[in-house]
Amino acid sequence: MFNAKPFGLQINFNSGMINGAKLSQRRLSDMRGLYADSAALEQIISTEGDRLVYEVFAADLPETEGNILYCTTVIQPGQVGNEYHMTKGHYHARRDRAEIYVGIAGNGQLLLQLEAGTLRAVPMGPGTAAYVPPYWGHRTVNTGAVPFSFFAAWPGDAGHDYGAIAEVGFGKLLVAHDGQPVLIDNPRR
Ligand code: M6P
Ligand code: ZN
C-alpha cells in the first residue's frame, strides 16, 4: 500500500503556479467541441496558432480514497468568439464527492450545474472560498483581462467525468457583452 509522505509545496500567489507540481496544459486544440463558436476556435488556431487556455499545477498524490488531492489552475485571459476562456468542466466520476476552490489572483466565475439542469454561478476573486457540493458539475471561467488562478482540493477517489459536459455542454455560456460578462442560454442545448 502506498503511504504518502508529508510535504509542502510553494504556491506563488502572484502567478498561481505551484513550484515542483505536475503540470498539464490545455490549448485551444484540446477544447474542440466545448465552445459554442467552433468556427471562431479554428480561425484562431489557423491565424494565431494553438493558444494556451489554461494550466493545472497538481500535487503528485495517489487518486485513492482517504487522500485529498490538490492543485492550482491558471486560466489565461481571452475569448473564443464572445465566450470567455474556461476549463473543460467535469462531474466527479463518483458524483457524491465535493470540492473546495479558493481564488488566488484575477477574477472569474465558477459555473455549477446539476445533471437535471439547475445552474448556478459563483463570482470568484482573490480569497473567495467557493464550495462545489456533491452532484454539481463544475467549470471555471476567466472573465477578466489578467490570468485567473485558484486553488482546488477534492477527495482522492472522486475522479473526473468529462463525457457529459463534452457532449452537451453547460446550460449557459459566459459571454462578453459590451465588455461585461453575461450568462446566456447555450444555443446547442
Ligand atoms: C480545478 C479542479 C481540478 C481540475 C481543474 C481543471 O483545479 O477541479 O480537478 O482538473 O480545475 O478543470 P478541468 O479538469 O475540468 O479541465
Ligand atoms: Zn472537480
The verdict on residue 159 lying in a domain is yes
* Cα–ligand 1 centroid distance for 188 (angstroms): 23
123 residue type, one letter? P
The verdict on residue 97 lying in a domain is yes
CA angle 168, 36, 129 (to 5 degrees): 75
Contact 71, 60 (CB under 8 A): no
**Tens-digit pLDDT profile for residues 97-106:** 999 999 999 9
Cα dist from 8 to 11, 18, 85, 120, whole Å: 10, 10, 30, 34
The verdict on residue 91 lying in a domain is yes
Residue the block writes with cell 472573465: 143
Pocket of ligand 1 (CB under 6 A): 56, 71, 73, 87-90, 99, 152, 160
* Cα–ligand 1 centroid distance for 58 (angstroms): 10
* Cα–ligand 1 centroid distance for 164 (angstroms): 15
Query: Which of 18, 87, 91, 151 has most ligand 1 atoms within 8 Å of its beta carbon, as the pocket-test mutant?
Result: 87
CATH number of domain containing 89: 2.60.120.10
Can you give the pLDDT of all 189 residues of the chain as single tens digits?
Answer: 456 899 999 999 999 999 999 999 999 999 999 999 999 999 999 999 999 999 999 999 999 999 999 999 999 999 999 999 999 999 999 999 999 999 999 999 999 999 999 999 999 999 999 999 999 999 999 999 999 999 999 999 999 999 988 887 899 999 999 999 999 999 887
The verdict on residue 16 lying in a domain is no
* Cα–ligand 1 centroid distance for 57 (angstroms): 10
Domain that holds residue 153: 22-185
The verdict on residue 56 lying in a domain is yes
| Count of structural domains within the chain | 1
The CB-side HSE value for 45 (13 A sphere, CA atoms) comes to: 13
**Tens-digit pLDDT profile for residues 36-67:** 999 999 999 999 999 999 999 999 999 999 99
Residues 14 and 167: their CA atoms lie apart, in Å, by 35
The verdict on residue 12 lying in a domain is no
